[in-house]
Chain A
């Protein structure tokens, strides 16, 4: 399996094979198999506690898996620190609670990793940062501190911060679920722009409109397992499993 994965690595962005993970004796991820092609946009959904965050955090090794393999852009995640560093420098991540650095200005938040990890000169890093701030439409906030921005603005800064590292793959863990309704749209618009540019994206979200608009595939998880995956149209109009039907009726019902 691993061999074919390595051969395919030209157009495979993420290959997860037979992956299992436990928290102590709690089997949180069971036999996960996912192949993500380059440029593919995948939405992962499922009830609370089903292991979506854990799965997505395994992809940049914020969590360690115990069985199976995860290959990201041709690099297998093992305990080898070099591989982990390599994967992390190619994978951007956006968190539910933004996790901006409160003691740094927005501009410093954006330039920190490029300067220290990529060793880019400060001036150049600042130019890149301003480019991406323009892209997420808040260049005027560059000199402020995160605490002075609205939630939606903070999340867009967080997206820009990841983009400044020029990642090939972006992970999103419920990027809009801590936001007020009127701010959700501005963040989703940013993500849709990103999708249009061909970024490979794995996104945990319950924004079904977003899934229908941009996803190539929707993966539904429950109890640590992949229960169903399908292209969005089929997934929403014609869910196969009972669990999926129940879940969809709950989140779309009201």
Chain B
């Protein structure tokens, strides 16, 4: 049975699999009796759904001033028993779902703010993909300018705001690094643009962050990292909660600079949902990461605090927290600080999703081999360097699907703020519009409209997470 190969085999192409539509159908839809039955059943379900909704969608009316007018148009065109969608009410009242009761003469402020949101996010979303970020900023700049053109305002204002968007586009294309400045300033710009009033408040709040750095630098060599960080945060908080108000007032009297103020109760609709959603999403991720690290810490106090917080928040319904928040925050904060309702809600929703994010990130941390942090230690990296450069990039990559799920959940949960009297798009605005004499009795159309917008936003997040996974998946693990 002796065998010696005299010639090595050359590589061959893999066998070509047979193809064709019929073959595909047979293999995937009718491969067995069970499969065939299921295929026919689902076909019937789809058919009856289409049959039910098609006439309603096809008989849609876009031009009418009230529901009764809608109905008479449908009856005239399609017979007395025909049903049809009355999209006319969306046409008549869409702006209320978008802006709530925000004054129409300053719609340019939320529009500009929404456009700048994407400018600020571009360097983070597409960190090393210049083309992606230019495309995003380009499309957004075009849409924002279009939106501004449709909004009320003087030509001078329109020119100025368009220039801002075009400059952002230029920066994105030629000096993408500087876009990060927009990212840092964006939160302060948002507060000022949306609520208006004196510019000194947001500027001085920004100065508070600048205080943390020198305090940290001064303390860290002698007392170590934890004391230095805490010290920095305490000094900054003193500034924000005690001093800042007086200084801002003084400056405003000396040098009055500002735009018309808009009260919080004017906010509503998707303006409100996006405001709460975006702020909570962006703040909750870093807090969640810190909580996850705290939970793994071997400092007993920090660990206990993190675990306690996470378990408490996950054990209590968001609505309960929204209700009690107004009371609790009033107790804990100094009397001079008047806490805006929207701000309160943002803080709570943020903490809520931070707890969930912490657990998702913890899962990612647990998936990392212990050798990674050991190698970082052995190379002499300190704790934060190791976390930032070695641990988090890998742990977050594993956690992306979970984190995005949390974010999508959070965004949809923003509708719960209707329980504390804010006008969310779903319950708040919709019930206001439906209470209108003209549109009384309308049912499906507003919900479909609101659902569609939510769907677009959530689907966008989900697609982005797939993109991110694909991009990070290139490291050949």
Binding site for B on A (CB under 8 A): 60, 62, 81, 85, 88-89, 91-93, 95, 97, 99-104, 112-113, 116-117, 145, 147-148, 161-162, 165
Contacts and interface: CB of A to CB of B under 8 A. Distances in A.
A147 B372 contact: no
B438 interface: no
Contacts of B394: 101-103
4 nearest interchain CB pairs? A99-B375, A99-B371, A147-B476, A113-B379
B374 interface: yes
B372 A60 contact: no
Contact of B372 (A81, A89, A99, A162): A99
B378 A60 contact: yes
A85 B385 CA distance: 13
A88 B381 CA distance: 9
Interface centre among B375, B380, B382, B472, by most chain A C-beta atoms within 10 angstroms, is B380
A95 B374 contact: yes
Interface size class of B (residues with CB under 8 A): 20 to 34
A249 B88 CA distance: 92
A62 B371 CA distance: 11
A62 B377 contact: yes
Contacts of A165: 379-380
8 contacts: A88-B378, A95-B374, A95-B378, A99-B369, A99-B371, A102-B394, A116-B381, A147-B476
B390 interface: yes
Contacts of A60: 377-378
A94 to B, nearest CB: 9
B397 interface: yes
A97 B389 CA distance: 20
B477 interface: yes
Interface in B356-408: 369, 371-372, 374-375, 377-382, 385, 389-390, 393-394, 397
Nearest to A81: B224
A155 B437 CA distance: 77
A40 B381 CA distance: 27
B81 interface: no
Contacts of B374: 62, 95, 99
B475 interface: yes
Contacts of A147: 475-477
A88 B379 CA distance: 6
B373 to A, nearest CB: 9
Contacts of B371: 95, 97, 99
